[in-house]
Chain A
């Protein structure tokens, strides 16, 4: 494995983390993780996987209780944390790019990202843009050129709603390529990436936008062609074969990160505790296995760094959403 700068930072943080593990100013009495969706979804998995790993590694004193609080695309849980549990030190909440997207688009009415404290990421799933294996299109610029000349000729399928993350990725790419009015890009929303890929295979649509984990099986079988991965550099391991959008001259990075936030009035001791514990878990070889199993790529942001990252991505998404008119 290549020692990337991320990995090096990881090792450093691991040493710091281990050093700090000896004494805490804080110990959670009954650690709790809110999954802002029904059991079985991505947020639920984030809570359960992390809760299990933290306990297995002895990083928390007791079992993490996972509470499902569904509704409003995470908005109900966000409001609950802000309004009712704002000083709870034992509580962490699963979040992802979708949380940032909705915050940016004011889809959690009356709530904003600085009402909570952002803890850390546990990995990311990079975006891909793909076409079916029989398609004449072979590179990302070719696809974007076709959209530019005749937007109605290409329907792009994705697993999120309009304005959601899968959609935004294509729009950001289109914008980076120089398509003036990105609203002309024809996007068809499906219920999940799997359904969208099926429609690509069925020939109903011409292109697919989604996460790399959703596309992997179909790439292996040779049914679809990945035009571009939206990561800064080529991904490690078997994903090495996919060209990045960047190297094809389209400046776009799309990472669907997974991580946690905590209540806004959580004490600094508790905040540091959670950042350190999640960080220590991230650095363990066990978590590396979990990441590989789930198709997660490394993305290691903690504490202040993560806070800044979320602020930045909220600002970016707000900007593009304004441009395409999802928000005023």
Chain B
């Protein structure tokens, strides 16, 4: 077959000693940067661009290095999510929900290994999707106009209920707070500043990384300080690491989840303007709706770890589809990769596959290689990662705090951002105390602006006719899913909870698996 022949040619390009070495370096650095709070895939790739240039790499090796960093960062983000409850980067946000509870139950090793496998699963099949479906999927991306994007974002928020909090009102509050924060800055549609109070630093809005690192990492440091003062701190010696290799039955148990979320994440990645965060988010919330009959999601359910990891890694692969086939970045990271391609005298776009087949297929082959490398690197390294938990908190927490500051300052060079981050740290501490979930806040910050923009684009195009929002079959479908996803838990939720309460009384001590 033609495609497979091209892929073999690609492997011939990628399988040189130099390229393999670059992939190894990229995977390693990417994993490290993904794990460090404040550095994620997009700035991780951007940081290494000068390295690629100073090494004088050609187009294919440079792309191999940088996409390995990209995939590595997608793998690495989960490590701090699981071990420290601090998402290493934005797509790893959802992994905190079940990953950290698993670690607290002494199953950190298992959670890390399982999430590594899920990451591999998602990325591996997404790369196959990229090979066979790219031309087809480009057409899907073209079905999404502003109205459809708005429906998609609404769907994401409508299915939010119940994630990470028992109190729906608090989840709604958190999401609204996040979206409100996203409104800060110069409004792209009219050019007027909003909620900036004349402060020029606020004109670009608040960077979501500042919000994530403040809300999660710094608030964690505050929690430790508080517990120390009240004398009730948890000692590091209580942390158990547990099994390093997940049992075969556990993997099998999670496989249906991984299959479903890989597909969902991949599709979300393909849509420019949706991206990996939305991929992992939708994967988690849809999976929770589908299989969480006992209400174990959020308390350390392994499927809750597998779902977002397979989803976000599949989305990373999906995001390469519009980048390579249309020249349109589907995420911040692919925007950076695109800039690199341009600088290397390669114009991504509809003709890339025919004009530069060696670059495209070499890159795809490199993705396969990088994936296997990451799996091989990550599974044995699990035992190394979990040692982080054995560092006493009195040393670990200052490191977490300082890494957060350096990560943010190193990218933006702005003291103002650091001040905002401290503000988010205090806010995060208060919200945690009050049992307000932090995840919806971040999702609001991440997706709020895009949601508003698409609403306004759609209505501007239609000259203010609101019926444009439900004018296509696709948008109607998305709205129906959103409404069902919003109403169903409100109606059925209490029913299930009642039935469960009865059952729990019947079979005391029943476990999940």
Q: CB within 8 Å of B: which residues of A?
A: 38-41, 44-45, 48-49, 52, 66-73, 75-76, 79, 105, 107-109, 152, 155, 161-164, 186, 188-192, 194-195, 197-199, 201-205, 213, 216-218, 220-221, 223, 292-295, 326
**A311 → B minimal CB distance (Å):** 23
Total CB contacts across the A-B interface at under 8 A: 166
**Contact A40 B191, beta carbon cutoff 8 Å:** no
Q: A38-B411, A161-B186, A189-B189 are in contact. Are A73 and B461 (CB under 8 A)?
A: no
Complex-state Cα separation, A195 to B349, whole angstroms: 12
Can you list the 10 inter-chain pairs with the closest CB atoms, starting with the nearest?
A217-B349, A39-B46, A221-B350, A293-B345, A163-B191, A40-B46, A194-B328, A204-B145, A40-B336, A161-B188
Most buried by A among B45, B411, B412: B412
Q: Which of A79, A204, A220 contacts B461 (CB 8 A)?
A: A204
Q: Closest chain B residue to A51 by CB distance?
A: B50
**Contact B413 A68, beta carbon cutoff 8 Å:** yes
**B84 → A minimal CB distance (Å):** 25
Which residues of B419-473 have CB atoms within 8 Å of chain A's CB atoms?
A: 453, 457, 460-461, 463
Please tell me which stretch of B129-137, B195-203, B364-372, B492-500 contacts chain A, meaning at least 4 of its Cβ atoms lie within 8 angstroms of it: B195-203
Q: Which of B46, B201, B273, B350 contacts A195 (CB 8 A)?
A: B273
Q: Is B344 an interface residue (CB 8 A)?
A: yes
Q: A109-B198, A195-B273, A294-B342 are in contact. Are A326 and B414 (CB under 8 A)?
A: no
Q: Is B329 an interface residue (CB 8 A)?
A: yes
Chain B contact patch, size range: 35 or more
Complex-state Cα separation, A203 to B45, whole angstroms: 33
**Contact B200 A202, beta carbon cutoff 8 Å:** no
**A84 → B minimal CB distance (Å):** 12
**Contact B272 A152, beta carbon cutoff 8 Å:** no
Q: Is B99 an interface residue (CB 8 A)?
A: no
**Contact B327 A188, beta carbon cutoff 8 Å:** no
Given contacts A72-B201, A155-B461, A192-B329, 19 further A-B contacts (CB under 8 A): A40-B49, A52-B50, A68-B411, A71-B414, A72-B200, A76-B416, A161-B186, A161-B188, A163-B191, A188-B146, A188-B460, A189-B457, A194-B328, A218-B349, A220-B355, A221-B351, A223-B350, A295-B342, A326-B191
Chain B residues contacting A76 (CB-CB under 8 Å) are 200-201, 414, 416
Q: Is B144 an interface residue (CB 8 A)?
A: yes
Q: Which of A45, A67, A71, A217 contacts B201 (CB 8 A)?
A: A71
Q: Is B10 an interface residue (CB 8 A)?
A: no
Q: A39-B49, A68-B412 are in contact. Are A217 and B347 (CB under 8 A)?
A: yes
Q: Closest chain B residue to A205 by CB distance?
A: B461
**A138 → B minimal CB distance (Å):** 21
**Contact A40 B42, beta carbon cutoff 8 Å:** yes
Q: A108-B200, A205-B461 are in contact. Are A221 and B349 (CB under 8 A)?
A: yes
Chain B residues contacting A38 (CB-CB under 8 Å) are 43, 46, 411-412
Q: Is B352 an interface residue (CB 8 A)?
A: yes
**Contact A216 B412, beta carbon cutoff 8 Å:** no
Q: A73-B186, A293-B345 are in contact. Are A186 and B460 (CB under 8 A)?
A: yes
**Contact A194 B327, beta carbon cutoff 8 Å:** yes
**Contact B54 A52, beta carbon cutoff 8 Å:** yes
**Contact A161 B189, beta carbon cutoff 8 Å:** yes
30 contacts between A and B (CB under 8 A): A39-B411, A40-B46, A40-B49, A40-B339, A48-B50, A52-B50, A52-B54, A68-B411, A70-B411, A72-B200, A73-B186, A76-B200, A161-B188, A163-B191, A188-B460, A190-B457, A191-B453, A192-B335, A197-B326, A198-B141, A198-B142, A202-B144, A202-B145, A216-B349, A220-B347, A221-B350, A221-B351, A293-B343, A293-B344, A294-B342
Q: Is B511 an interface residue (CB 8 A)?
A: no
Give B188-223 as 1s and 0s: 1 = Cβ < 8 Å from A's Cβ atoms: 111100000010110110000000000000000000
Q: A109-B200, A162-B189, A198-B328 are in contact. Are A71 and B351 (CB under 8 A)?
A: no
**B364 → A minimal CB distance (Å):** 19
Chain A residues contacting B463 (CB-CB under 8 Å) are 152
Chain B residues contacting A221 (CB-CB under 8 Å) are 349-351
Q: Closest chain B residue to A161 by CB distance?
A: B188
Complex-state Cα separation, A186 to B462, whole angstroms: 11
Chain B residues contacting A44 (CB-CB under 8 Å) are 46
Chain A residues contacting B128 (CB-CB under 8 Å) are none
Most buried by A among B411, B416, B457: B457
Q: Is B484 an interface residue (CB 8 A)?
A: no
Chain A residues contacting B347 (CB-CB under 8 Å) are 216-217, 220, 295
**B355 → A minimal CB distance (Å):** 8
Q: A70-B413, A188-B460 are in contact. Are A217 and B188 (CB under 8 A)?
A: no
Chain A residues contacting B344 (CB-CB under 8 Å) are 293
Q: Which of B190, B345, B412 contacts A71 (CB 8 A)?
A: B412
Complex-state Cα separation, A280 to B188, whole angstroms: 38
Q: Is B173 an interface residue (CB 8 A)?
A: no
Chain A residues contacting B144 (CB-CB under 8 Å) are 202
**Contact A72 B203, beta carbon cutoff 8 Å:** yes
Chain B residues contacting A223 (CB-CB under 8 Å) are 350
Chain B residues contacting A66 (CB-CB under 8 Å) are 50
**Contact B351 A73, beta carbon cutoff 8 Å:** no
Q: Is B53 an interface residue (CB 8 A)?
A: yes
Q: Closest chain A residue to B332 by CB distance?
A: A40
Q: Is B269 an interface residue (CB 8 A)?
A: no
Complex-state Cα separation, A26 to B204, whole angstroms: 37
Which residues of B19-35 have CB atoms within 8 Å of chain A's CB atoms?
A: none
Chain B residues contacting A216 (CB-CB under 8 Å) are 347, 349
**Contact B204 A71, beta carbon cutoff 8 Å:** yes
**Contact A52 B186, beta carbon cutoff 8 Å:** no
Which residues of B141-187 have CB atoms within 8 Å of chain A's CB atoms?
A: 141-146, 186-187
Q: A52-B54, A197-B328, A294-B343 are in contact. Are A40 and B43 (CB under 8 A)?
A: yes
Most buried by B among A40, A161, A294: A40
**A3 → B minimal CB distance (Å):** 24
Q: Closest chain A residue to B186 by CB distance?
A: A161
Complex-state Cα separation, A195 to B326, whole angstroms: 10
**Contact A201 B339, beta carbon cutoff 8 Å:** no
Q: Is B76 an interface residue (CB 8 A)?
A: no
